[in-house]
Structure 1
Amino acid sequence: MQQASVEKFSDLIGAIYDCVIAPEHWTDVLNDIRMELGFATALLSAYSFTNVTIGVNAASGTDPVPTLAQTSKEYAADIVELWGGFERIRRYPLGEPIVRSQAVPEEVILGNRYYREWSRPRGLSDAVGVALVREKTIIGNAMFAQHESDGAIEEIQISGLRVLAPHIRRAVTISNLFDMKTVEAATFAATVEALTVGVVLVDEDAKIVHANAAADAMLTANDPILVRQGRIAVQSTATTKSLQSAIAQAAKDEAALGQKGIGIPILRPSGDPLVIHVMPLRRGSVRARLAQRATAALFVASASGPPQMSHVALNQLYDLTPAEIRIFELICEGHTRDAISDLLGVSVATVKTHLLHVFEKTGCRRQVDLVRLAKSLTFPV
């Protein structure tokens, strides 16, 4: 397949974010992604445990979604086995495309009931999985299957998914904050006002264009967001820098925003952990009509779990990719490079390359320095 143009990827990313406002568009967007990257089928599934009306269940190039859902339920245990089991799946980095044939031994795949009875009869020889969300309140995944007539999955397809995955992650995560399946663009302002999470619309300089009632209360109390020199900020200087950098990038080129601005961690004086999600607004047929002066919407929401060594901090402060973050974590857990290779289903050379990038980006020279850095990354940043 040929490399997609920058403009085409920008259009796809714009359409992805429009799905936050109009989730009924997910099927069409998923089909466009599948066609652009040359996959035979695509599935996007996300389920909220708190907002029962919220969920994404879109499929393209395969059986109708209800039939697919029933099939998945029938083969649930087999599907988990096909991707290496629960423990292996838990270790896959969020947002990183995982090629099944590279991660799981061939004998496991060929002997798997789901593969033999469902995938193989349809000519689906391999697949790429992307973990989008893995939290207490929401879980989401995307899967793209390759038809045997198209040969092996190519690196250009994986590269394309790496570009799109963080935007799908952000859109799915923010969708969970809304209390309805569809938000009409004409009533977006009213919907924002009714949300219990803080929502702040800002311009390219991080100056506030509008804040809903929940965000207004936070700003009045300087807890946890505030205005510093006319710009949106938080108490931590480092976190403020990350937040404002994400806003500037969203205004300049949302396609290059990547992992930045997904779940920026902050902490209230009470000790309650919160996160800020940054969603671009300028591009896209739906979002561009919401607020003419605003370039980004900031969602200030409760964190889904207790404070941990923040992988978000690793991305926001050091620009580590999901794969680099996962290797950082495994190194800090005491795993060797060979063990990490086995756990993630990648070559030792790939582990070494990612680790080299981790050293370069963090300024660390030894693995013990990475462990010290991990201990210092308490919540918040």
Structure 2
Amino acid sequence: MVDSEQLSALIGDIYDAALDPALWPAVVRATSVFVGGGSCNLSRTDSLNHDLDVSVDWGSDPHYMHLMATEYGRIYPLPPLIMAYARPGDLVWADMLMPYEDFLRTRFYREWARPQGLCDAVGVVLEKSATTFATVTVMLYERHGRVDDGVRERMRLLGPHFRRAVAIGRILEQRPVLGSSYAAVLDSVSAGIFLLDRSGRLVRSNAAGERLLERGHPLRRQAGRLAAPAEATTRALDEAVAQAVRGRDGGPAQGTALPLGETIDDGWVAHVLPLSPGRQGLPAEAPAAAAVFVQRVTLDRPHALEAIAKQYNITPAEMRVLVCVTEANGIREIAGLLGCAETTVRTHLRRIFEKTGARRQADVIKLLASFSGPLG
């Protein structure tokens, strides 16, 4: 059963951390406790270089995180499957991506996870590009047991708020929004930023926001408030601001992502979040009760593995073998990495060859390179 007060407080803290990155360590600790794990991190994985950049971590063993960065990241079986099959916003855990028994047989589990007592993990894909993806991940150890419905539900409740907070943090480029150079910092951000009072009236906007209002798209100023081209969108924006204000005043904390354009292809999105009095450096008497961040989003190219999986109907089991072709020297080594029989590897390779038209492992490597392209 979810503690609604604990959930509401944690969601508020997540949005606070979007404006003040120094709060993230406390947020990931609280996330681990709330979800029911033993450690938690925010990280970005570069699938081309097998680099794991952990920006915030709580509870992990530094020795094993070093081993992950220097040795085991290249044979971690889950990231290629996330790149190939998961979408931003998706909830992911070990046996959702591959059979759990297969995971236990991998060299990664035997040498890196099992010595720590680590038995499972659950995460949310926050962002994804052609070569990288970012996640918030909670690790479960033997004392916690494996991921179950309760763990998934608690992580699912937090996922959208982490995504919005990270998007807002990226907009702000992790600069402190508040302080002595408050107006100057706001004006240095390329996204439009609008601060609204409790009634939804516009209190302040940055330079980028003013340019959007002067152009009248995707927002315009109407009777001191923000208005969108479509009346229904304006009503949705007003309701999102009202939700943010309720979260500010102690109600359920809310943050909302809202498309603003007249069509989906417009790509304009507003992120609305509450501004708590006395937090993020705001004085208690500050009139701003909610912030609206507006930017135009673009779709990233699909990762090579995602494109190959779709074009050739590659299954997750085949994908694990396909990825190992680039990391291992021959069938025996692939079998060792995956913890399976050599005959199993041969079977998957034969199917990969049939589907792609490859005749040997070198052809598979060339196929991966052709999908990656000169820009990765």
- TM-score bucket of the superposed structures, by smaller chain: 0.5 to 0.7
What is the alpha-carbon distance in structure 2 between the residues aligned to residue 181 and residue 216 of structure 1? Answer: 20
Pairing 1:1-381 to 2, within 5 Å after superposition:
3=1, 5-46=3-44, 57-64=55-62, 68=65, 71-72=68-69, 74-79=71-76, 81-82=77-78, 85-86=80-81, 89-135=83-129, 139-253=133-247, 256=252, 261-262=256-257, 264-266=259-261, 273-282=267-276, 285-286=279-280, 288-289=282-283, 292-305=286-299
Pair 151,6 (structure 1): closer, same or farther in 2 beyond 3 Å = same
- C-alpha displacement at 1:195, in angstroms? 1.6
What is the alpha-carbon distance in structure 1 between the residues aligned to residue 89 and residue 26 of structure 2? Answer: 21
Q: Secondary structure at the residue paired with 1:227?
A: strand
Q: Secondary structure at the residue paired with 1:176?
A: helix
| Identity in percent | 29
Amino acid paired to 2:24: W
Q: Secondary structure at the residue paired with 1:266?
A: coil
In structure 2, stretches of 5+ residues that fail to align are: 47-52, 302-309, 320-376
Pair 236,69 (structure 1): closer, same or farther in 2 beyond 3 Å = farther
RMSD over equivalenced CA pairs, Å: 3.6
What is the alpha-carbon distance in structure 1 between the residues aligned to residue 268 and residue 184 of structure 2? Answer: 24
| TM-score, length-scaled by structure 2 | 0.68
What is the alpha-carbon distance in structure 1 between the residues aligned to residue 189 and residue 132 of structure 2? Answer: 18
- C-alpha displacement at 1:306, in angstroms? 7.8
1:26-47 CA-to-partner distances (Å, cap 9, x unmatched) read 1222112212332012111148
Amino acid paired to 1:13: I
What is the alpha-carbon distance in structure 1 between the residues aligned to residue 169 and residue 132 of structure 2? Answer: 11
1:204-228 CA-to-partner distances (Å, cap 9, x unmatched) read 4332111111211221221221023
Q: Secondary structure at the residue paired with 1:249?
A: helix
What is the alpha-carbon distance in structure 2 between the residues aligned to residue 148 and residue 25 of structure 1? Answer: 29
Aligned twin of 2:339: none
Count, aligned residues: 297
Amino acid paired to 1:235: P
Pair 32,203 (structure 1): closer, same or farther in 2 beyond 3 Å = same
In structure 1, stretches of 5+ residues that fail to align are: 49-54, 308-332, 334-338, 344-381
1:91-127 CA-to-partner distances (Å, cap 9, x unmatched) read 3343343232344212320222222111111001111
Pair 161,289 (structure 1): closer, same or farther in 2 beyond 3 Å = farther
What is the alpha-carbon distance in structure 2 between the residues aligned to residue 299 and residue 57 of structure 1? Answer: 23
Residue pair 1:135, 1:304 contacting (<8 A) in 2 also: no
Residue pair 2:120, 2:147 contacting (<8 A) in 1 also: yes
Residue pair 1:185, 1:290 contacting (<8 A) in 2 also: no
Residue pair 1:24, 1:182 contacting (<8 A) in 2 also: no
Q: Which has the larger radius of gyration?
A: 2
Residue pair 1:11, 1:284 contacting (<8 A) in 2 also: no
Runs of 4+ in 1 over 6 A off after TM superposition: none
Once the two structures are overlaid, the 10-residue window that deviates more, 19-28 or 208-217, is 19-28
Amino acid paired to 2:187: E
Q: Secondary structure at the residue paired with 1:98?
A: strand
- C-alpha displacement at 1:158, in angstroms? 2.1
Pair 189,160 (structure 1): closer, same or farther in 2 beyond 3 Å = farther
